[in-house]
Amino acid sequence: MISGILNVNKPAGPSSFAVVRTLRRLPGVVKAGHGGTLDPAADGVLPILINSATRLADFVHEWPKTYLATVTFGSTSDTGDREGTIRVSGDPKGISRERIEAELPAFVGRIEQVPPMFSALKQGGEALYRKARRGEAVERPARTVEIFAIRLLDYDPTTTVARLEVSSGRGVYVRSLAQDLGVALGCGAYLSGLTRSVIGPLTVAEGVPLATLAAAGEEWTRWLLPLDLPLRNWPAVSLDAAGAAAIRRGQSVAAPTTVTGRYRVLGPDGTLLAWGEADQSRRIRPRAVFA
């Protein structure tokens, strides 16, 4: 069964789950999942994990991300983005490039962020956006997230629109960032556009349009990236036939060093066999076996 990762250039419009449903129809795809939700209104890099690669989703979620965010000041949205009901919230005439740049350092580093009500985050086993559509108000506790850097690319005072480049870790909502920035500047703001330009080693410039993949038939595999891409920076251990057989049976094997932590486990032919964790006893125990 062929497995790997697709770097999909998602268009604005479909949800991440709709993209997954579309690509599940490709020949040879038994399982598929995405490696980090993009809102329907957003576009850009959406990793799609095919077949055995779905077992590596947690590691794809760990990849750092870069976004190009368009923020409109002086109005708010009940969804936080252009998909919601837009209402005038304040006078943005006093907003300037200098004022925006003066506020940005407060949003860099490990910060507390309240997830938007219209989000796929689950509470009580149900996505928040479903509750929001029923008109339910749910208290959302703030979560600690990490933003590595924010850079103001430009600001147009005539349209009161700014463009930001945001580099972050997992779990950051750029919609919440836009709203919080508007609060800090005293006039309100919403996210009027969002492109995910980078996630881990994947870039939007190298992404494959969804429509291209959907129409590719048997040729879709030409764009499939290696299964072990999320593990490339991990130390590796290469096994002979006996060691590979032991891993396939769920047994542990000797670690090559005293270093504990995650390892790529390679078979005799050099392909990814499994990933495992080495403990203090210098044994690597398999966590997921792929071959």
Place of tokens 């789950």: 17
Look at strands 189-199 and 65-73 and give their pairing: antiparallel
Q: Is 39 a catalytic residue?
A: yes
How many Å apart are CA 67 and CA 45, to the nearest integer? 10
The amino acid sitting at 2 is I
**Active-site choice (39, 43, 81, 180):** 39
How many Å apart are CA 135 and CA 153, to the nearest integer? 37
How many Å apart are CA 187 and CA 95, to the nearest integer? 9
Strand-pairing partners, residue 10, are 44
The 10 Å Cβ neighbour count of residue 1 is: 11
Cα separations (Å) of 74 from 159, 171, 193?
10, 26, 15
How many Å apart are CA 73 and CA 182, to the nearest integer? 6
H helix intervals, the chain? 16-23, 57-61, 97-103, 128-133, 174-184, 210-214, 241-248
Structure tokens at 169: 């870790």
Catalytic residues: 39
